[in-house]
Amino acid sequence: MTAQAEIERAEETEAMTVREAIRMGLREELERDEDVYLMGEDVGKFGGVLEVTSGLWEEFGDERVRDTPISEAGFIGAATGAAATGTRPVAELMFSDFMGVSMEQIMNQMAKMRYMFGGKTEMPVTVRTTEGGGMGAASQHSGTVHAWIAHFPGLKAVAPGTAAAAKGLTKAAVRSDDPVFVFENKMIYEQQGEVPTDEEFTVPLGEAAVEREGEDVTVVATQRLVGESLQTADSLADDVSVEVIDVRSLYPLDTETIADSVRKTGRLVVADESPLSYGVHAEIVSRVQEEAFFSLDAPIQRIGTPDTHMPFSPPLEQEVLPDGDDVREAIELIT
């Protein structure tokens, strides 16, 4: 289903930022289900370093919005153990770059317990984290590591590109009985969008959204690059008709929506901020060439970070950061 349709179907919407949409989703889930609680470094009184959880501690108190020591392995491990024993933690990993500290609990416990135990446990844990360059935060606070989680069996990964998707995916993650990582790009927290206010609005895990219909070329994008691709598409409207898809869910991945689009357009650009080699793009390329090989009229183009870390200095950062211009160049190359 297209994102448009979801929003049109919604009885009421409100304009808000991605940050507000996530916060709204979290607040609604905290209200809906007493088993749900938030935990993380400075998510409480401080309101979260990027202010996503701001106000929730005041509203829900110490038990349900918990500040942790600086112990990602400890609290993400605890969230894993807690999820196996009847509660539904939502952990904030302040920056996705800190994932390494807690990777063991993620890869060997959270991702594997259900399977190793022959299905003897549920694992309703959500991990929210921020990604991406663009704010001069340098190499250790600007990474995009979602390919790791999308690749690792037993984990689900979402990466919203719009405010509506941000709310809907956050809520779906919290309601899921599987571990879900929500990758929030830090540069779009202020991006505005219409968001359904319905408390039952969720975006199903595993469904992409056609954000803009087109005929000549498909752009499949994630996070910040969804908005930039939409702008690029608009700016090219006189010359080429661009379809833009927000992947939304990296795993499971909605192969059908993407392949259907390519069957129509015959051309594909994949835009995602992860480093290019072995990045998220490659999987989308592979599935499309598997599902729509004979529809492809040109090599699929990949737009991502060119295998460097995010450098500090603005001209360097701008150099390696993929953006709408890169998408434009790729479109021009194959149309």
Ligand X SMILES: Cc1ncc(C[n+]2csc(CCOP(=O)(O)OP(=O)(O)O)c2C)c(N)n1
Residues 286-315 that bind a second copy (CB under 8 A): 286, 289-290, 293, 296, 298-300, 302, 305, 307-309, 311-312
Interacting partner of 286 out of a second copy, other proteins, ligand X, none (Cβ under 5 to 8 A depending on kind): a second copy
Among 39, 52, 76, 94, binds ligand X (CB under 6 A): 94
Measured from the CB atom, is 41 or 273 closer to ligand X?
A: 41
Measured from the CB atom, is 72 or 243 closer to ligand X?
A: 72
- Cβ atoms of 15 and 41 within 8 Å: the answer is no
Q: How far is the CB of 195 from other proteins (least distance, A)?
A: 26
Please give the distance of CA 178 from its chain centroid, rounded to a whole number.
Answer: 16
Interacting partner of 279 out of other proteins, ligand X, a second copy, none (Cβ under 5 to 8 A depending on kind): a second copy
Q: How far is the CB of 317 from other proteins (least distance, A)?
A: 8
**In the stretch 6-45, what mask flags binding to other proteins with x, by CB under 8 A?**
-------------------------------x---xx--x
Instruction: Number of residues interacting with ligand X: please give it, by CB under 6 A.
Output: 6
Residue 285 has a CB neighbour count (10 Å cut-off) of 18
**Can residue 189 be called a binding residue for other proteins (CB under 8 A)?**
no
Instruction: Number of residues interacting with other proteins: please give it, by CB under 8 A.
Output: 81
For 221-256, letters b (16+ CB in 10 Å) and e give: bbbbbbbbbbebbeebeeebbbbbbbbbbbbebbbe
Measured from the CB atom, is 237 or 316 closer to other proteins?
A: 316
Region binding ligand X by CB under 6 A among candidate stretches 26-34, 93-101, 172-180, 271-279? 93-101
Reference 91, options 37, 49, 23, 142; nearest CA is 37
**Helices and strands (H and E) in the chain: how many:** 13, 14
**Can residue 183 be called a binding residue for other proteins (CB under 8 A)?**
no
Q: How far is the CB of 95 from other proteins (least distance, A)?
A: 9
Torsional class of 225: left (φ above 0), alpha (ψ -120 to 50), beta (otherwise): alpha
Sheet of 65-67: strand order equals 65-67, 36-40, 88-93, 126-131, 180-185, 156-158, 249-251
248 Cβ partners below 8 Å, 6+ apart?
158, 159, 160, 161, 165, 169, 203, 207, 208, 209, 222, 254
Q: How far is the CB of 213 from a second copy (least distance, A)?
A: 25
Q: Which residues pair with 301 in a beta bridge?
A: 269
Measured from the CB atom, is 10 or 276 closer to other proteins?
A: 276
Residue 323 has a CB neighbour count (10 Å cut-off) of 18
Region binding other proteins by CB under 8 A among candidate stretches 184-192, 210-218, 236-244, 250-258? 250-258
Q: Count Cα neighbours of 88 within 13 Å in the Cβ-side half-sphere.
A: 18
Q: Mark whether 151 is an active-site residue.
A: no
Among 14, 32, 78, 100, binds a second copy (CB under 8 A): 100
Measured from the CB atom, is 137 or 226 closer to other proteins?
A: 137
Q: Give CA–CA dist 90/79, Å, rounded.
A: 8
Instruction: Number of residues interacting with a second copy: please give it, by CB under 8 A.
Output: 56
Residues 270-329 that bind other proteins (CB under 8 A): 276-277, 306-309, 311-320
Helices (H), 69-187: 72-83, 99-104, 113-116, 146-151, 163-175
Interacting partner of 206 out of ligand X, a second copy, other proteins, none (Cβ under 5 to 8 A depending on kind): other proteins
Q: 297 φ, ψ to 5°?
A: -100, -10
- Cβ atoms of 139 and 309 within 8 Å: the answer is yes
Interacting partner of 298 out of other proteins, ligand X, a second copy, none (Cβ under 5 to 8 A depending on kind): a second copy
Q: Could you give the residue numbers annotated as active site?
A: 141
